[in-house]
């Protein structure tokens, strides 16, 4: 009985992971073989995103602090640069800037 339960749980986990993986790949512009870095680089080359250094230069005016991670991803129906920032109060926050315009999309807490 326990063995059957373990098999059922593993199957359910496998199906759940496949559903999440297929949802991620259905996002516009997602290319499984490309890293976030390569996606951003190609978008900059095509004029669809500003260079990372320009987006990062906007951060001190939006949320001063120390950047600990940067990602380029499709969120909020657009491509964004997501910066994880430790703000001046020691909180970890995510700053989402529109990759093309640099417009602030959202700031979230972790």
Domain ranges of the chain: 31-109
- CATH, range 31-109: 3.10.450.40
Q: What is the pLDDT of residue 38?
A: 87
- Whether residue 43 contacts residue 34, with contact meaning beta carbons closer than 8 Å, is answered with no
Q: How far apart are CA 82 and CA 84, in angstroms?
A: 7
Q: What is the pLDDT of residue 3?
A: 54
Q: Which residue ranges in the chain fall short of pLDDT 50?
A: 4-32
Segment holding 59, helix H or strand E = helix 52-62
Q: What is the pLDDT of residue 7?
A: 46
Q: What is the pLDDT of residue 104?
A: 97
Q: What is the pLDDT of residue 36?
A: 82
């Amino acid at each position: 009985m326990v063995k059957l339960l373990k098999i059922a749980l593993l199957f359910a986990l496998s199906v759940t992971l496949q559903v999440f993986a297929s949802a991620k790949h259905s996002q516009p512009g997602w290319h499984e073989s490309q890293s976030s870095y390569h996606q951003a680089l190609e978008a900059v080359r095509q004029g669809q995103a500003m260079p990372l250094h320009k987006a990062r230069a906007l951060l001190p005016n939006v949320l001063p602090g120390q950047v600990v991670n940067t990602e380029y991803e499709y969120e909020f129906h657009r491509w964004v640069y997501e910066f994880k920032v430790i703000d001046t109060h020691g909180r970890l926050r995510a700053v989402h800037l529109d990759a093309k315009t640099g417009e602030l999309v959202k700031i979230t807490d972790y």
